[in-house]
């Protein structure tokens, strides 16, 4: 899971739309990564702090405003352990709401997040970014910082249009479309419309992962369990899908690499 210089990978879960399963995927994939032996850091970049809530971590940060602007010790001092071996969390905070304007005011840089995360790519094999639904300078920072941008797509007509907007945004800004990977999320296989939309979208756009995540009450129950799905329902069907999705992503992120290879 490391690059040529032995540094960990960064994967963002991103979409312009909310409510498509970004946080569910970020939390479950980060958990599976850690359980597979990769030292994993989940960064909750969404002021709604759902990922932080799922992992039962207090969302308040010390020196909140400065954390993502200054980086370094301000970030590391706020990384929290979770109940799960190998999984750490950078919690959300209200200040993230101001991150975009702050980034804009301070540096106007699209590389700021990448440089802030740089040192942590020596400590972690994988950094997962849970993004808010945004198409701002923060989104651009997320694209620049990431080796892989994972986009959950709900196969409804409106969601298909939103995904077309994501691809157009990435192209217009000149980012590498090759690092964008999409998967179908909240799929209701019995719905003819879902099946037809999936087939049409696969023709229209490249970069689909083979695994789809079904619409499942078990995934919703993460909210009451306040835990990653594989931690409390290890053999549920939806858990199996997240594991299959992880296997595909691990192959893209680090062909041939093994857990712990960074420290070996």
Ligand X SMILES: Nc1ncnc2c1ncn2[C@@H]1O[C@H](COP(=O)(O)OP(=O)(O)O)[C@@H](O)[C@H]1O
The residues of the shown chain that bind Mg ion, judged by CB under 5 A, are 22-23, 50
Closest distance to ligand X from the beta carbon of 78 (Å): 21
Give backbone dihedrals phi and psi of 263, rounded to 5 degrees, phi first: -90, -15
Q: Which does 216 bind (CB under 5 to 8 A by kind): ligand X, Mg ion, none?
A: ligand X
Give the three-class secondary structure for 44: strand
- Interacting residue with ligand X among 213, 229, 231, 253 (CB under 6 A): 213
- Alpha carbons within 13 angstroms on the beta-carbon side of residue 201 total 27
220 forms part of the interface with ligand X (CB under 6 A)? yes
223 forms part of the interface with ligand X (CB under 6 A)? yes
24 forms part of the interface with ligand X (CB under 6 A)? yes
Q: Report residue 199 as tokens.
A: 């087939």
Closest distance to ligand X from the beta carbon of 30 (Å): 13
Q: How far apart are CA 163 and CA 249, in angstroms?
A: 20
Using CA atoms of 67, 72, 78, 81 in order, give the dihedral in degrees to the nearest 10: 140
- Interacting residue with ligand X among 186, 201, 212, 245 (CB under 6 A): 186
Taking residues 3 to 22 in sequence order and writing x for each that binds ligand X by CB under 6 A, - otherwise, the string is ---------------xxxxx
**CA 226 distance to own-chain centroid:** 18
228 forms part of the interface with ligand X (CB under 6 A)? no
Q: Report residue 240 as tokens.
A: 């199996």
Closest distance to Mg ion from the beta carbon of 128 (Å): 12
Give backbone dihedrals phi and psi of 7, rounded to 5 degrees, phi first: -100, 150
Q: Which CB, 50 or 74, lies closer to Mg ion?
A: 50
* Complete DSSP assignment for 107-134: T--SSHHHHHHGGGGTT-SEEEEE--S-
Q: Are 16 and 162 in contact (CB under 8 A)?
A: yes
By rule CB under 6 A, what count of residues binds ligand X?
16
239 forms part of the interface with ligand X (CB under 6 A)? no
Q: Which CB, 48 or 165, lies closer to Mg ion?
A: 48
Burial of 217 (0-12, 13-18, 19+ CB in 10 A): exposed
Closest distance to Mg ion from the beta carbon of 51 (Å): 7
Closest distance to ligand X from the beta carbon of 129 (Å): 12
216 forms part of the interface with ligand X (CB under 6 A)? yes
Residues at the contact surface with ligand X, assessed by CB under 6 A: 18-24, 50, 186, 213, 215-216, 219-220, 222-223
């Amino acid at each position: 899971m490391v690059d040529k210089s032995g540094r960990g990978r960064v994967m963002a879960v991103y979409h312009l739309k909310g409510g498509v399963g970004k946080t569910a995927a970020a939390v479950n994939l980060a958990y599976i990564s850690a359980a597979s032996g990769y030292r994993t850091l989940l960064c909750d970049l969404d002021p709604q702090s759902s990922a932080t809530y799922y992992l039962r971590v207090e969302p308040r940060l010390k020196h909140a405003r400065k954390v993502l602007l200054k980086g370094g010790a301000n970030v590391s001092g706020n990384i929290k352990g979770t109940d799960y071996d190998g999984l750490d969390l950078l919690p959300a905070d209200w200040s993230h709401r101001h991150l975009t304007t702050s980034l804009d005011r301070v540096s106007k840089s699209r590389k700021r997040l990448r440089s802030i995360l740089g040192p942590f790519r020596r400590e972690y094999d994988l950094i997962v970014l849970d993004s808010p639904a945004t198409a701002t300078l923060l989104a651009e920072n997320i694209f620049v910082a990431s080796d892989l941008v994972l986009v959950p797509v709900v196969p409804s007509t409106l969601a298909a249009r939103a995904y077309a907007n994501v691809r157009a945004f990435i192209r217009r800004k000149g980012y590498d479309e090759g690092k964008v990977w999409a998967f179908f999320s909240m799929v209701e296989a019995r719905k003819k419309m879902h099946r037809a939309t999936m087939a049409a979208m696969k023709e229209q756009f490249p970069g689909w992962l083979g695994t789809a995540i079904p619409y499942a009450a078990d995934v919703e129950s993460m909210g009451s369990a306040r835990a990653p799905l594989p931690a409390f329902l290890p053999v549920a069907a939806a858990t199996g899908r997240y594991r299959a999705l992880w296997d595909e992503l691990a192959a893209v992120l680090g062909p041939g690499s093994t857990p712990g290879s960074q420290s070996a």
